[in-house]
């Protein structure tokens, strides 16, 4: 964001700009006003802002333009004008990404000087422009007048506190186990003559949880689900105001971009495990169809009626009511995956007959499903790269706006956005993550129609993980090996498609579009994370999955609850400290921790919201 302030030595014109998101800038709004004498309070900076003052010693007026290095091939935008005779002009600008400044004469297109710099939060900077007497060249020198804040110090402190809490949490069962062992020894020593009776009483002790038969439920899957959901709650609350806890403006990956595809992956794994269990219990296909249809309808209704609208949005208007959404996409993806599993021809897993393809029977036996997925992905590729879009280049994947040298202003999202506007009209998302940085004017829905195809493909990767768990149950080495093989295949595919770059690949990694490279990249990460958690939680039992396992077993309740109540006390409040990340980070961590605690209490009460 930037706010252009006044030349405090020449009272007259005051230049202001409305605050924008940390990802970029808003168009300038010019207002007349009177400049007061400057002091430290005159430049009250907010989070992710810095003050830059231009000092010009040039004999003519100059114009300063800027662009963000994160914005791909973006046009330079006007930042400030220093008139002839005006000693200085101050601007408040964003510290989120590296900025490139270009200084040029007001009446010409030549560049006098340019520089790139990553400004830091709350820093005061000076840029002095002088003309050399000998060479008649312009030199620009940047200096720091006031040292900036350490932006990542709140994050470091929070990490250390959470790490210490995790160590104490992990140590508590060990201390409790030692205490139980000592009590057991005392019972044996003091009542040796009644050894058999004492041992029977000892098994009723709550410390002897190990004697209880283990549940057949896959703890690592609940832990993975809860881990994804906890991060989702945190980033939805604001992620402490850090840009990497928000969605990427267009291409690239941030932490916020990871959780949704992981959740879809988990849905696929859960569908295979749950439906296989119901197959073994003799549940008919009609009953399965009724169950999956009901669950899909409920998920979509919750997403459309509750998550889509809240009282703080004002009176409901059909003109802006959004039809797509997160739960709508999850519901439809679940419906397709569950249908595939319901009509799967193989109920006996694994087959008892041995064939030459037995080592890969978890793939070969499901060739109709693979054929369906290949056809779906072929359709996505054809529509994305071959479908003509009016006034846009065929196969365009950019953000439009000021990106791509401003050539495709109204082409945001290419074919994906065109199909959504054609089918849904204006009832799609009007505030995409690219809107601020790329200054786009067109709506774009990250949960649109075309990207839902690749959501199904992501869920299918999760189904493959579930089939591996079923085919090779009790053969942990084979399970982990196949997880790593899948991760390797998908990771190499993502590297080839993206050329290991953010914007220059064949198909860039893009969460807004749910591009093919994004899906295979997320599939790679999901296989690795599930494999690690399966090894640590289910095989070695080094970790019980706490505290993530609690929200993982009540995911619908936590997701809907945090979406409906997230902006009410005690989950959030009006912040008093707006010039740093301290209070924002504490507030978001506090709100997330409250939902984890609520999930734990519900777990103790054995309350699990099922659909």
Q: What are the structure tokens assigned to 262, written together?
A: 């992981």
What is the structure's pLDDT at 407? Answer: 92
Q: Which positions are annotated as active-site residues? A: 247
Model confidence over 419-432: pLDDT tens digits? 999 998 877 888 89
**Same domain, yes or no: 524 and 429:** yes
What is the structure's pLDDT at 177? Answer: 65
Mean pLDDT for 169-180 is 69
Report whether pLDDT(20) > 60. no
Which of 63-72, 100-109, 260-269 comes out lowest in average pLDDT? 100-109
Question: Does residue 553 belong to any structural domain of this protein?
Answer: yes
The rounded distance, in Å, linking the Cα atoms of 183 and 129 is: 78
**Helix and strand totals (H; E) in the chain:** 16, 11
Report whether pLDDT(210) > 90. no
- Asked whether the CA dihedral 462, 466, 472, 476 is positive or negative, the reply is positive
**Same domain, yes or no: 292 and 165:** no
**Same domain, yes or no: 507 and 377:** yes
181 pLDDT band, cuts 50/70/90, is low
- The residue whose two tokens read 């590296």 is 98
Q: Which residue has the higher pLDDT, 536 or 16?
A: 536
Mean pLDDT for 162-175 is 79
The rounded distance, in Å, linking the Cα atoms of 445 and 432 is: 7
Mean pLDDT for 312-337 is 80
14 pLDDT band, cuts 50/70/90, is very low
Q: Which residue has the higher pLDDT, 350 or 244?
A: 244
Question: Does residue 268 belong to any structural domain of this protein?
Answer: yes
- Per DSSP, the three-state class of 77 is strand
Mean pLDDT for 10-32 is 35
168 pLDDT band, cuts 50/70/90, is confident
What is the structure's pLDDT at 193? Answer: 41
β-pairing, 29-32 vs 49-56, is unpaired
Model confidence over 572-594: pLDDT tens digits? 888 888 788 899 999 999 999 99
- Which domain range does residue 572 map to? 228-253+545-611
**Same domain, yes or no: 41 and 129:** yes
Give the number of other Cβ atoms within 10 Å of residue 373's Cβ: 20
Question: Does residue 220 belong to any structural domain of this protein?
Answer: no
What is the structure's pLDDT at 199? Answer: 28
Q: Which residue has the higher pLDDT, 172 or 447?
A: 447
Report whether pLDDT(5) > 80. no
Q: Which residue has the higher pLDDT, 564 or 65?
A: 65
Percent with pLDDT over 90 in the chain: 50
What is the structure's pLDDT at 214? Answer: 45
**Same domain, yes or no: 234 and 306:** no
Question: Does residue 121 belong to any structural domain of this protein?
Answer: yes
Domain boundary among 507, 523, 544: 544
**Same domain, yes or no: 538 and 576:** no
Q: What are the structure tokens assigned to 237, written together?
A: 């609350």
Model confidence over 444-501: pLDDT tens digits? 999 999 999 999 999 999 999 999 998 888 888 989 999 999 999 999 999 999 999 9
The CATH number covering residue 37 comes to: 2.60.40
**Same domain, yes or no: 239 and 138:** no
The b-or-e profile of 14-32 (16+ CB within 10 A means b, else e) is: bbbbeebbbbbbeebeeee
Mean pLDDT for 20-31 is 36
CA 164 to chain centre: 25
What is the structure's pLDDT at 149? Answer: 87
Helices 259-280 and 516-533: crossing angle in degrees, nearest 10, is 60
Model confidence over 278-310: pLDDT tens digits? 888 888 888 889 999 999 999 998 888 776 665
**Same domain, yes or no: 429 and 562:** no
What is the structure's pLDDT at 184? Answer: 52
**Same domain, yes or no: 585 and 554:** yes
- The residue whose two tokens read 């060990």 is 174
258 pLDDT band, cuts 50/70/90, is very high
Question: Does residue 44 belong to any structural domain of this protein?
Answer: yes
Question: Does residue 197 belong to any structural domain of this protein?
Answer: no
The rounded distance, in Å, linking the Cα atoms of 73 and 160 is: 39
Question: Does residue 454 belong to any structural domain of this protein?
Answer: yes
The rounded distance, in Å, linking the Cα atoms of 148 and 124 is: 7
The rounded distance, in Å, linking the Cα atoms of 31 and 14 is: 6
- Structurally, the chain folds into a number of domains equal to 4
**pTM of the full structure:** 0.85
What is the structure's pLDDT at 314? Answer: 60
β-pairing, 49-56 vs 124-131, is parallel
Question: Does residue 353 belong to any structural domain of this protein?
Answer: no
**Same domain, yes or no: 33 and 132:** yes
User: What is the 8-class DSSP label of residue 241?
Assistant: G
Mean pLDDT for 157-185 is 75
CA-based end-to-end distance of the chain:
43
Domain boundary among 521, 544, 567: 544
**Same domain, yes or no: 114 and 42:** yes
Report whether pLDDT(508) > 50. yes
| Phi, then psi, of 557 in degrees rounded to 5 | -60, -45
Nearest by Cα to 142 from 105, 112, 114 = 114
The rounded distance, in Å, linking the Cα atoms of 610 and 556 is: 8
**Same domain, yes or no: 183 and 90:** no
List Cβ neighbours of 508 (8 Å cut-off, separation of 6 or more). Answer: 251, 252, 397, 498, 501, 502, 515, 517
Q: Which residue has the higher pLDDT, 401 or 83?
A: 401
The rounded distance, in Å, linking the Cα atoms of 519 and 124 is: 42
Residue 142 Rama label (left phi>0; alpha psi -120 to 50; beta): beta
- The residue whose two tokens read 């990404």 is 97
């Amino acid at each position: 964001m930037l706010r252009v302030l006044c030349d405090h030595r020449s009272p007259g014109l005051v230049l202001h700009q409305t605050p924008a998101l940390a990802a970029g800038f808003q168009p300038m709004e010019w207002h007349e006003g009177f400049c007061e004498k400057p002091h430290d309070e005159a430049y009250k900076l907010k989070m992710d802002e810095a003050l830059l003052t231009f000092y010009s010693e040039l004999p003519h007026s100059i114009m300063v333009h800027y662009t963000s290095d994160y914005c791909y091939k973006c046009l330079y935008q006007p930042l400030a004008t220093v008139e002839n005779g005006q000693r200085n002009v101050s601007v408040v600008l964003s510290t989120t990404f590296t900025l490139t400044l270009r200084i040029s004469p007001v009446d010409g297109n030549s560049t006098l000087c340019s520089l790139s710099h990553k400004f830091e939060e709350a820093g005061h900077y000076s840029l002095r422009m002088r003309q050399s007497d000998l060479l008649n060249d312009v030199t620009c020198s940047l200096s720091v007048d006031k040292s900036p804040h350490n932006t990542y110090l709140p994050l470091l402190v929070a990490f250390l506190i959470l790490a210490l809490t995790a160590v104490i949490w992990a140590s508590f069962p060990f201390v409790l186990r030692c205490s139980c062992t000592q009590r057991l020894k005392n019972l044996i020593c003091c009542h040796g003559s009644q050894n058999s009776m004492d041992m029977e009483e000892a098994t009723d002790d709550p410390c002897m949880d190990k004697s209880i038969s283990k549940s057949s439920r896959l703890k690592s899957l609940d832990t993975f689900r809860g881990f994804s959901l906890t991060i989702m709650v945190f980033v939805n609350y604001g992620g402490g105001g850090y840009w990497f806890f928000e969605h990427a403006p267009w291409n690239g990956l941030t932490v916020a971009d990871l959780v949704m595809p992981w959740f879809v992956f988990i849905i696929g794994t859960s569908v295979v495990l749950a439906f296989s269990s119901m197959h073994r219990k003799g549940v008919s296909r009609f009953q399965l169809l009724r169950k999956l249809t009901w669950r899909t309808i409920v998920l979509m209704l919750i997403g459309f009626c509750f998550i889509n609208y809240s009282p703080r949005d004002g009176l409901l208007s059909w003109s802006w009511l959004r039809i797509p959404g997160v739960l709508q996409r999850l519901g439809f993806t679940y419906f397709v995956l569950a249908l595939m599993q319901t009509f799967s021809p193989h109920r006996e897993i694994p087959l008892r007959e041995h064939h030459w393809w037995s080592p890969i029977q978890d793939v070969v036996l499901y060739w109709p499903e693979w054929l369906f997925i290949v056809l779906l992905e072929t359709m996505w590729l054809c529509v994305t790269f071959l479908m003509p879009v009016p006034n846009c280049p065929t196969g365009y994947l950019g953000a439009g706006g000021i990106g791509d040298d401003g050539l495709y202003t109204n082409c945001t999202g290419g074919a994906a956005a065109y199909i959504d506007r054609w089918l849904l009209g204006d009832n799609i998302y009007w505030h995409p993550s690219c809107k601020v940085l790329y200054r786009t004017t067109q709506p774009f829905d990250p949960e649109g129609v075309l990207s839902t195809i690749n959501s199904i493909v992501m869920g299918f990767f999760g189904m493959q993980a579930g089939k591996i768990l079923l085919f090779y149950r009790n053969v942990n080495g084979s399970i982990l090996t196949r997880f790593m093989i899948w991760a390797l295949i998908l990771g190499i595919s993502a590297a080839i498609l993206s050329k290991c770059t953010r914007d220059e690949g064949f198909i860039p990694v893009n969460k807004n579009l749910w591009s093919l490279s994004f899906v295979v990249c997320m599939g790679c990460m999901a296989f690795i994370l599930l494999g690690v958690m399966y090894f640590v939680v289910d095989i070695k039992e080094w970790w019980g999955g706490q505290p993530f396992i609690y929200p993982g077993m009540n995911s619908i309740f936590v997701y809907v609850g945090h979406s409906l109540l997230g902006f009410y006390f005690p989950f959030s409040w009006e912040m008093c400290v707006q010039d740093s990340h301290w209070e924002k980070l504490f507030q978001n961590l506090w709100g997330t921790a409250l939902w984890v605690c609520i999930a734990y209490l519900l777990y103790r009460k054995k309350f699990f919201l099922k659909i």
